[in-house]
């Protein structure tokens, strides 16, 4: 359907929006059609070269996003050598200017691709090569996914390297708390609970499940009064937060 839409735009001489290309490339890769994904990139590259020459061939250029989608397509297709070759080609072409787009290529290309395939240690390896300013979001996603998969070592390493901020720590803290409880380690769960219970954190309906899990774990370990107290405290915050939104 996307291909027919694009062909219709070409026939009508409509200048395409660049955002169409990452979507098409991702769709082809998801369906296992890497060849068409690469052909889609080649079409974008042709239009971009013409655009550089002054022709109106693309609206709202998205070069970094397109490059990243190609890398991601190679990774999800288990063609890591192709991903590396393409990444090196872009780095060589851009020279020192690649610093402006490198994190986007790594995050949306390699990290996202390896996360989708469940190869979380490799995703962590790539995330650690990113600049500090953008690394935490990637590490947060990896910690959450690894915790959900019970890959404790990868989850812990990723979590411990997330910059301390409310925004990036909430989701992985929930996942780490759940993993700790599944392991029967209430003491470890308490560490992540303290992050969620911080006054700076806004408690939403998403906190209901971790609160219930933590309370049940405390009660099961004999800390009945503490379990009831902590759950009541958090449920009050959740109710207050929900009331503010109405």
6 vs 195: which has the higher pLDDT: 195
Q: What is the gyration radius of the CA atoms in the chain, in angstroms?
A: 23
Residues in contact with 70: Cβ distance below 8 Å, sequence separation at least 6, in sequence order: 25, 37, 38, 41, 86, 109
- Global pTM reads 0.87
Mean pLDDT of 227-238: 96
3-state class of 68 per DSSP?
Answer: helix
- Name residue 59's beta-bridge partners: 17
Query: Cβ distance 212 to 231 under 8 Å?
Result: yes
Q: Given pLDDT bands bounded at 50, 70 and 90, which one contains residue 2?
A: low
Distances (CA, A) of 28 to 94, 128, 167: 26, 29, 33
| Average pLDDT over all residues of the chain | 92
pLDDT at residue 6 is higher than 70: no
At residue 144, the pLDDT reads: 97
Element counts in the chain: helices (H) and strands (E): 14, 0
The two structure tokens encoding residue 170: 């909430």
Residues in contact with 215: Cβ distance below 8 Å, sequence separation at least 6, in sequence order: 227, 228, 230, 231
Q: Given pLDDT bands bounded at 50, 70 and 90, which one contains residue 158?
A: very high
Mean pLDDT of 200-212: 95
pLDDT at residue 14 is higher than 90: no
3-state class of 17 per DSSP?
Answer: strand
Instruction: For the chain, give the percent of residues with pLDDT over 90.
Output: 80
Mean pLDDT of 87-116: 93
């Amino acid at each position: 359907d996307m291909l027919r839409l694009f062909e219709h735009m070409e026939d009508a001489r409509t200048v395409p929006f660049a955002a169409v290309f990452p979507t098409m490339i991702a769709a082809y890769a998801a369906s296992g059609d890497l060849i068409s994904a690469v052909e889609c990139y080649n079409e974008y590259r042709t239009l971009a070269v013409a655009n550089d020459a002054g022709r109106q061939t693309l609206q709202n250029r998205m070069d970094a996003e397109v490059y990243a989608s190609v890398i991601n397509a190679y990774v999800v297709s288990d063609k890591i050598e192709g991903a590396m070759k393409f990444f090196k080609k872009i780095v060589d072409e851009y020279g020192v200017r690649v610093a402006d787009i490198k994190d986007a290529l790594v995050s949306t290309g390699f990290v996202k691709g390896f996360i989708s395939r469940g190869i979380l240690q490799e995703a962590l390896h790539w995330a650690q090569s990113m600049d500090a300013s953008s690394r935490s979001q990637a590490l947060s996603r990896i910690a959450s996914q690894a915790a959900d998969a019970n890959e404790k070592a990868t989850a812990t390493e990723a979590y411990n390297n997330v910059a301390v901020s409310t925004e990036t720590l909430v989701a992985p803290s929930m996942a780490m708390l759940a993993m700790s409880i599944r392991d029967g380690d209430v003491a470890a769960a308490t560490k992540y609970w303290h992050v969620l219970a911080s006054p700076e954190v806004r408690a939403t309906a998403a906190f209901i499940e971790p609160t219930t899990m933590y309370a049940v774990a405390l009660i099961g370990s004999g800390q009945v009064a503490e379990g009831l107290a902590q759950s009541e405290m958090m449920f009050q915050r959740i109710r207050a937060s929900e009331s503010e939104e109405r």
